[in-house]
A and B are shown apart, each in its own frame.
Chain A
């Protein structure tokens, strides 16, 4: 009798522990926390405690849906919880694209993952083989890819460069090895390697 009772107690506390691990209470919410909202993984972008002097306390959270990119505000009651999402940002090396999928490799485990068009988004414009990217995995599948802030890419096509005064200004389009087209100064020539800021998609300098 006694032994059975003890076993049952241990079992219950284990279940409790598991539930506890998978949920965050509203007072644990913080920027960057990844949670499941209506079956989509979301990231908390901004967390604010709201409480009128005499009224109930709430936590107002700006959320970003990691699949769709939509951001919106949701208010949680103080006793509400949110289920944690198995989302991880990992540094990976870009390998190649087969036209449909973009392949990445974890440089320590050599494990490979493939991102589809939705997951890669605009990041494909800046990818060069062997560059390090941040790949966001949800249940081990890529859902978004962030290229390095600065990349170096070769110009494969642009109008001939102007000789002489480089201070004169003006710009022209140039097509890069990754396929992106950026505005560059007139003196840039085909074959030049350029430093690009991927956050703005703008030319920074010659590399």
Chain B
């Protein structure tokens, strides 16, 4: 009945997709944000332990002097090098690649929108995300809630005092899983994806901000109102779907090098693949990157939300199993 040669996405969905992409480009043109392109095939790979890069091989001569290259999992490092090169505000719409990520809302090769705003901090960038996304999905009045408050509201959990064992115990009350783990963030992520996200399904658009400092990734760390260190990071959930991830960006080169080293150490401990980290990003930061906020957004999911579909294959013409 369905043939593998055939597109999975109805052509009208692809029209809507093209329309949304045009709308995004108009949005940034009107705000004088420059569209850029950066390499898809890079010499360094992302350090995040739980993002697995797809490796490819470059040969200067057929079959000889093989070099490893990595399909980018996000254009973040390269775009930051552009910012340090003096680009000013920039955005990019590109393919990003992640090994093993295949499912209802995941395609190993997906389309990402990423943009950077020098002079913005993360709450200003949230305003801009809302201004872009709101009209596309026909929603307004995005809510904002801190990570700690979210866990207090949905799980009656005080993250400032909760121990790893308590987090594990609460997780096991909600989820049937066989897992032992000393990593606090793994339990938090499970609670977030399995217990909180589904409850956000009927809550419209919600920005979650002030992530635990241990989940800072490439955001700077500041103190919240209680004097606790928190990551200047936010995520946007719409109808319970994780749509965007943004930071008030880390600009400190030494701290950046430290975070790479920490990720590598975690990869070693957990037996995850080790790949070269991006020394050029550290050099760019040493040279000086403007203070800025940046955000990455899954465009396939944005189109899904605009169309009200549940499957990423409804908005990608030829998904992974037909690629």
Contact = CB atoms under 8 A, between A and B. Distances in A.
B179 A60 contact: no
A53 B245 contact: yes
Interface residues of A, number: 21
A52 interface: yes
Given A55-B189, A56-B50, A56-B189, A48 B176 contact: no
Contacts, number: 66
B189 A72 contact: no
Interface string B100-134: 11111110000000000000000000000000000
Nearest to A60: B194
Interface stretch (A74-82, A127-135, A178-186): A74-82
Contacts of B189: 52, 54-56
B interface residue count range (under 10 / 10 to 19 / 20 to 34 / 35 or more)? 20 to 34
B101 A51 contact: yes
A112 interface: no
Contacts of B291: none
Contact of A77 (B100, B101, B179, B242): B179
B22 interface: no
B100 A27 contact: yes
Given A54-B48, A74-B177, A75-B175, A49 B242 contact: no
B194 A53 contact: no
A77 B100 CA distance: 13
A96 interface: no
B244 to A, nearest CB: 9
B153 interface: no
Interface in B181-209: 185-186, 189-190, 192-194
A24 interface: no
B100 A50 contact: no
Contacts of B100: 27, 57, 78
Contact of A55 (B102, B103, B193): B193
In this complex, the member of B178, B179, B185, B193 whose beta carbon has the largest number of chain A beta carbons within 10 angstroms is B193
B176 A75 contact: yes
Nearest to B189: A55
A175 B193 CA distance: 51
Contact of B242 (A52, A58, A75): A52
A57 B101 contact: yes
A76 B177 CA distance: 6
Nearest to A56: B50
Contacts of A49: 101-106
A53 B114 CA distance: 14
B318 interface: no
Contact of A72 (B176, B186, B190): B176
Interface string A20-64: 000000010000000000000000000011111111111010000
B94 interface: no
A27 B103 CA distance: 10
A51 B176 contact: no
A80 B178 contact: yes
A153 B217 CA distance: 67
Contacts of B102: 49
A34 B24 CA distance: 46
B302 to A, nearest CB: 15
Interface string A72-106: 11111110100000000000000000000000000
B242 A53 contact: yes
Contacts of B50: 51, 54-57
Top-4 shortest CB links A-B: A49-B103, A55-B189, A74-B176, A75-B177
9 contacts: A27-B100, A49-B103, A49-B105, A50-B193, A52-B189, A52-B242, A54-B215, A56-B50, A74-B176
Given A56-B50, A78-B100, 11 more contacts: A48-B103, A49-B102, A51-B103, A54-B50, A54-B217, A54-B245, A55-B50, A58-B193, A76-B177, A77-B177, A77-B179
